[in-house]
């Protein structure tokens, strides 16, 4: 690799610290879940006002236990959404993956989705932290209805106006305001 020596040294040090904890986390996860699928692609076709919309996702990991129950896992090195943000639909990634999985859109057969899990990989101890979000069939169904409603709104209005959040300062917008 054409990476400067100091960068290699820095990353080797970080990985050396993270790997033992990650391996232990992964080993424990595989005890509970007999089938583990990584970087699996899925999709779901929705009919929105007579138009076919294809929703696609790549799940970091889907783990399925012996009874057919699944968890969807997403690995994060940056900020992790809160449970409130996920369940309100503000951070929809794992919810959309759950909708796709529940509709057989991933090449994995599951009976039920138990929970969504964020695995936060830190650069300091503790290196691995998990945030688990229990989810039910009713939750998934409700979010699917909300997704369909949102897409119908966009299709009907053909307007995608994004209002600037006045509580956040944006250096670029501030500099570009006079252009």
Residue range 99-158, pLDDT digits in tens: 999 999 999 999 999 999 999 998 888 899 999 999 999 999 999 999 999 999 988 987
Closest by alpha carbon to 115, among 101, 98, 138? 98
Domain ranges of the chain: 5-156
**How much is the pLDDT for 168?**
56
**How much is the pLDDT for 178?**
47
Q: Taking a C-beta distance cutoff of 8 angstroms, is the pair 78, 91 a contact?
A: no
3-state secondary structure of 46: strand
Largest CA distance in the chain: 61
pLDDT tens by residue, 48-80? 999 999 999 999 999 999 999 999 999 998 899
**How much is the pLDDT for 162?**
61
Percent of the chain whose pLDDT exceeds 70: 88
- The crossing angle, in degrees rounded to 10, of helices 137-157 and 93-102 is 110
Q: How far apart are CA 61 and CA 71, in angstroms?
A: 8
Q: Taking a C-beta distance cutoff of 8 angstroms, is the pair 121, 76 a contact?
A: yes
Tokens 């009907």, located at residue = 156
């Amino acid at each position: 690799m054409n990476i400067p020596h100091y960068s290699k040294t820095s990353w080797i040090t970080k990985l050396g610290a993270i790997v033992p904890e990650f391996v232990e986390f992964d080993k424990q996860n595989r005890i509970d879940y007999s089938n583990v699928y990584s970087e699996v692609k899925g999709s779901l076709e929705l009919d929105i006002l007579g138009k076919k919309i294809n929703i696609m996702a790549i799940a970091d990991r889907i783990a399925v236990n012996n009874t057919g129950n699944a968890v969807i896992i997403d690995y994060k090195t940056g900020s992790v959404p809160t449970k409130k943000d996920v369940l309100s639909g503000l951070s929809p990634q794992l919810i959309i993956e759950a909708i796709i999985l529940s509709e057989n859109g991933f090449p994995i057969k599951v009976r039920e989705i138990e929970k969504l899990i964020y695995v936060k990989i830190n650069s300091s101890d503790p290196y691995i932290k998990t945030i688990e979000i229990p989810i039910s069939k009713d939750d998934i169904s409700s979010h699917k209805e909300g997704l369909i409603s949102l897409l119908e709104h966009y299709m009907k209005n053909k307007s995608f106006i994004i209002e600037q959040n006045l509580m956040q300062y944006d250096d670029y917008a501030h500099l570009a305001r006079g252009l």
